[in-house]
Structure formats: C-alpha cells, structure tokens
Structure 1
Amino acid sequence: MKIAIAGGSGFIGTALTEKLTSSGHEVFILTRNKENKPEKENVTYVEWLKEDTEPEKELNGVDTIVNLAGENLNSGRWTDEQKKKIMDSRITATRSVMELIENLEPKPEALINASAVGYYGTSFTETFTESHSKSGDDFLAEVCQRWEEEASHAIKHDLRTAYMRFGMVLDDEEGALKQMLLPFKMFAGGPLGTGKQWMSWVHIEDVTGAIQYAIENRDISGPVNVTAPEPVQMNEFGKTLADVINRPYWLPAPSFALKTALGDMSVLVLEGQKVIPEKLNNSGYEFHYPELKPALEDLLT
C-alpha cells in the first residue's frame, strides 16, 4: 500500500515509518523541508505547508493518509502561549490534510488521525471505552475534541476515518517514560501525587501495531483507544518501574509541588483516566505487550 504520513518525522511517525516499510508498504512523509533528509528504502519525502507546493501531484494513488502532526504535549510548561501552539498546530495541520484530500484524485481509502485519551477528561473512578461519547471539559479534552472534529470532515469525501486515541506511550528514547526515569535513577523515585490516579499506558510497538492494523482493516473506524488492555494506577506503575530497574520507591512528590513546577501540564501525571481498548480487543488485534512489567522489561533491560 501507499501511505502518506503527516508528522512522519516525529516520535511516533519515525517508529511507524519503520514498521510500515518493514512490512512492505511504501511511505510518503509530508514535510516542510525535504532537504537533507536521510535516504530510506520505500520512503519518499513530499513538501507541504509551504507556498507554491502541490503535494497532491506526488501522492497520486495513495491509499491512506495518517495524520500525526502537532506540537509535542511534553515540549514545555503549558503557558497560554504554549497551549495556543498545542491547539493551533493540530488544527492547522489537520485542515491542511483536508485540503490535500480535496485535491487528490482518486481519493484515499482512509484517514487515520491521531488523538489522545485526554478526550475523555479525567476521573479516578470511571472506566472509558469508545462507546463513551461525551468529551471532558479540560484543556486537553478540548484539544482532542476539536482535533477529531476537524478530521471528521474527511467523511464527506467517503474516507473511512479513525481517531486513534493514544494513551501514555512508553518508549526508551522518547516520550514521558524517559522523563519519569530520572528520579528513579537518582534513587529518589516515589508516588506522584496521590498515586491513585489511573495511567492508561501503551508500548510504542503496540502504537505502531495498532495504526498498521487500522490501516489494513477496513472494519476499523471512528474512535479507537490505543492503550494496553490493563491500565494501572500510578502507584502500581511506579512500583513496577522501580522493580524493573532495581531502584527504591519511597520519596513522594506532592501534588502542589508538581502543579507549581508543571502548571496545567501537571494534569498529565496527577490526573488520569482508566481507558480500555475495547474496539481493538473485539476486532482481534493481538497486543505485543498487554501487561506493564514485560513492557518495561523490554524497554529498560
């Protein structure tokens, strides 16, 4: 298949490109600048979001578009300016994807659009599946709701559209896990906040696996929770992490200190949601890492 990826040079996009090309697919990475990009087999760089570029001319016959583009949530304290970047980057990129779809003939079969479990808002007690239609009322929920709303315009072009709601992605080089490891390596790891908040995590291999599964299976559409089948509370996550890297788990980080340090971004670690990947489970996707300890052992040992 021919697959175009917006955000293909980012954390998830890079891993996805490797996954897809190793499976025999041809990948087209949409980029603002294709100069000095590393040459890879079955990978073509296509310029977009620049004046006078016409990416549609290089994407004739593309089967699927994957939209991962957007400012990293972990790229800095959530000031008003940073929040605007987070929101605007996703809306602008997704509108550009819609424009690309309008200009493509023939149309792709599917749009696979990134989102996040933050769509549901936060809760210590509720369990969320894809059948939960109401979004939360905090900033991240608003971002996800508007992001998905923009992507939904692909449906009018008869594209099968899936919204991949990612949990906290675990990887040994990128993302939140690398930041969480630091205090443990300094023998100062411990509970974050109350420790009772839910963490819906997912191994990077299952992120790319789930996206490929959605690309290749025409029955997959609408919201798709991309989380491991067994979410854990933060206390269990921390204790498991400490056990895997042979470090103590004892020094708590109080909520007020984290809120002071991180501002609104503290919601990512102090509050969470228990999310179940019901659609992937019911459709037959087999998780590589359904349980936390083997996932951490794979990444950290």
Structure 2
Amino acid sequence: MNIAIAGGTGLIGTALTHHFTSQGHQVFILTRTPQEQKGNVNYIQWLMPGSKPEEKLPPLDALINLAGDSIGSGRWTQQKKERILNSRLSATSAAISLLEQLERKPSVFINASAIGVYGHSFTETFTEDHADDGKGNFLKDVVIYWENEAKKAELLDIRTVFPRLGLVLDQQGGALPKMLLPYRFFAGGNLGTGNQWYSWVHIDDVVRMFEFAIQKQQIHGAMNVTAPHPVKMKEMGQVISSILKRPHWLPVPSLALKIVLGEMSSLLLEGQRVLPEKALRHGYQFTYPTVNKALVQILKKQ
C-alpha cells in the first residue's frame, strides 16, 4: 500500500511508519522540512508556500492525519490553547484540500481524535454511541471542531475514521515517562484522589488499531482507541509500583497540581471510562488488554 501520514514524526507517526514499512508498504511523510528518502520512507513537503504535495504523491490507499500541537507540553495559556486548536484545524483543512486535489482519492481518510470529546466523569462509561450532552470544556470543544473539519472528507465519498485516542503508553514518549519519574525517585503516589479513570492503550495496539481501521471497510466515524479494561489512577500507580519495586505512598494534592500546571492539570486529575466497543464489535483482538500486561512489557524492556 501507499500510505501518507501528516504528523508522521511524532510518537504515533513514528510507530506507524516503522510498522508499515516493515511490512513492505511505502510511507509518505507530509512535512514542512522534507529529507532524503530512507528505504520505504518518502518525505513530501506540504504547508509551505509553493508546495504541491498532490503533484509528488503516487495514488494513495490511505491518508492519516496526526498533526497538531501537543496538549501535554507547557501551561495552557490563551496563546497555547489557540495553538492547540488552530494547529489541528489548519492541518486537517490542508489534508481535506489535498484530498480534493488528488485525481485518485484514497479509500480511507484517518484523522486522529481524542476521548476528550466525552468530557470528564468519575461514574459514566462511554462508547462511540454516547449521546453528546452538549456541555463542553476546552478539550471537548477542540475535538468537536477537529472532527467536524475532518468530516468534510465524507463529501468526497471517502470513508472517514476518527480514532479517539486514550492515554497512550509507550517507553519512548507521551505521558508514561513523566508518570514513572516520581516512582524512580521513591516518591510515587496518587495524583489527586486517585479515583479518576485512565482509559489507556499500549502503543502496539494503537498501531494495530489504525491498521485495522484501514483494512475494515465497515468501520467509519468515531472509533475509540483504548484498551478494554480502563483503570483508576491509583490502580495504574500500584501496578507501576509493583513492577518497578518502588513505593506508592506519596500523594500529590489536587490543589498543588492545579497551582503548578493550571488548567492542564485536568489531564491528570480528571478522566473518563471509555470502552472500545466498535473495534471489539468488528473483531479486533488486543495484544495488551490489561494494564498489568502492558506495563510489564514496556517496563521490562527498560
């Protein structure tokens, strides 16, 4: 297959690129700063004046858009929040424009999304069929705008999938290395009450679920990319403690996190219990269904 990836140099994009090229597929990274071709990895300039990726791409089987400013780096100042939203909207708009200009359209457009669309709850369980209650917070509003922009691909008769990503566990980046740091210094413990839900997913299952979405033509619209067994924060912390043989004892009060991180503290203090109902219904089988199995695999490699 020929697969184009926007945002292909980040955590998920790098993992997808490695997976697809190891299977012999050609990957085309859409980037502002192209490099020389490396094996099956090709770099195509886009989002720059005069760049015309539609003239340099071969017929594509899939276009994946992962581009957007990181939500987990830096305080959410007003400028940062604008970058988070506008970077996603502008990249998705550019992806739609590219699709419009391609003479032969790919069969599927996969535009990254997030479980933040469900809002926060200590008690509810969310699936793709959840009816929106209309009550928004910053992340929920971002995802709604983001998905609505991506839905324009459907007007081009292209199957469109929104993988709603949960907390991605990987040793190379994302939230996990930051979560591990206190335990390595014997200072791990609950963040806030510890009762907030973490709907997590191992990076290997993220990659395979994206591939699953490409292959399964029956899948369209939202697809939760989370493991089937979400856990509360305190349970995840206790698993980390057990594997690393470090104590889970020193709580960090909610107020302290709010003072240090501001509004971004909601990523750690609030959560939602999200189930991957659509993937399971279509026959996806998880490599890492439980957080213990996922963290043993990741931490034993370090």
- Native 8 Å contact 2:168 2:175 kept in 1: yes
Using the TM superposition, give the Cα deviation of residue 24 of structure 1 relative to its aligned residue in structure 2, in angstroms. Answer: 2.2
Partner secondary structure for residue 112 of structure 2: strand
Q: Deviations over 1:95-120 (max 9, x none)?
A: 00011011001111110010000010
Identity rate, percent: 53
Using the TM superposition, give the Cα deviation of residue 268 of structure 1 relative to its aligned residue in structure 2, in angstroms. Answer: 0.6
Amino acid at match of 1:26: Q
Partner secondary structure for residue 78 of structure 1: coil
Q: Does 1:258 align with 2:257?
A: yes
Q: 1:98 aligns with which of 96, 99, 102?
A: 96
Equivalence map 1:273-284=2 (5 Å): 273-284=272-283
Equivalence map 1:49-198=2 (5 Å): 49-134=47-132, 136-198=135-197
Using the TM superposition, give the Cα deviation of residue 257 of structure 1 relative to its aligned residue in structure 2, in angstroms. Answer: 0.3
Distance in structure 2 (CA, Å) of the matches to 1:173 and 1:33:
23
- Native 8 Å contact 1:122 1:136 kept in 2: no
Which residue in 2 is equivalent to 1:34? 34
Partner secondary structure for residue 71 of structure 1: coil
Q: Does 1:10 align with 2:13?
A: no
Q: Number of paired residues?
A: 299
- Native 8 Å contact 2:108 2:214 kept in 1: yes
Which residue in 1 is equivalent to 2:207? 208
Partner secondary structure for residue 18 of structure 1: helix
Distance in structure 2 (CA, Å) of the matches to 1:262 and 1:229:
30
Which residue in 2 is equivalent to 1:219? 218
Using the TM superposition, give the Cα deviation of residue 136 of structure 1 relative to its aligned residue in structure 2, in angstroms. Answer: 4.9
- Native 8 Å contact 1:60 1:106 kept in 2: no
TM-score between both structures, scaled by the size of structure 1: 0.97
- Native 8 Å contact 1:70 1:93 kept in 2: yes
- Native 8 Å contact 1:188 1:249 kept in 2: yes
Amino acid at match of 1:279: K
Distance in structure 2 (CA, Å) of the matches to 1:136 and 1:249:
35
Distance in structure 1 (CA, Å) of the matches to 2:125 and 2:135:
13
Q: Which runs of 4+ in 1 moved over 3 A?
A: none
Equivalence map 1:16-27=2 (5 Å): 16-27=16-27
